[in-house]
Amino acid sequence: MPDFLLVYILASSRAEAEKIAETLVGEALAGCCNIFDGVRSIYRWQGKVERADECAMIAKTSAEKLEMLMNRVKELHSYECPCIVATPIVAGSEAYLEWLKSEV
């Protein structure tokens, strides 16, 4: 079974998240993306504590597609330094992972 990843991405709005998700799925860089509204982020940027309402997204992909996925997100994203972090899927439904394999 290939290695699969969950990729956590933050976007400035639901519209931006949907644009990114549709592109990733459409280009077979992700099998599925889940979008979560209502994220409140508090972070340090350029020496100041900032606050922002954002939209989170989780993309499911293969390890071999990660670099292409990250590059595509950077091309589409409005942020200078977007949050794009990946974590391995260590276990899951065999049927789901087979489906994911077929989509990416």
Which CATH number do you get for residue 31? 3.30.70.120
Q: Please say if the pLDDT value at position 1 is more than 90.
A: no
- Residue whose entry in the numeric block shows the structure tokens 């439904």: 93
Closest C-alpha to 54, from 17, 3, 18:
17
pLDDT digit string, tens, across residues 85-104: 999 999 999 999 999 999 99
Which pLDDT belongs to residue 90? Answer: 93
pTM strictly above 0.85: yes
Q: Is 62 exposed, middle or buried (0-12, 13-18, 19+ CB in 10 A)?
A: buried
Q: Give me the number of domains the chain comprises.
A: 1
Q: Please say if the pLDDT value at position 15 is more than 80.
A: yes
35 residue type, one letter:
I
Residues of the domain holding 73: 4-103
Tell me the β-bridge partners of 43.
50
The token pair at 34 is 């889940």
Q: Please say if the pLDDT value at position 2 is more than 70.
A: no
At 18, which helix (H) or strand (E)? helix 14-26
pLDDT digit string, tens, across residues 16-70: 999 999 999 999 999 999 999 999 999 999 999 999 999 999 999 999 999 999 9
Contact 12, 78 (CB under 8 A): yes
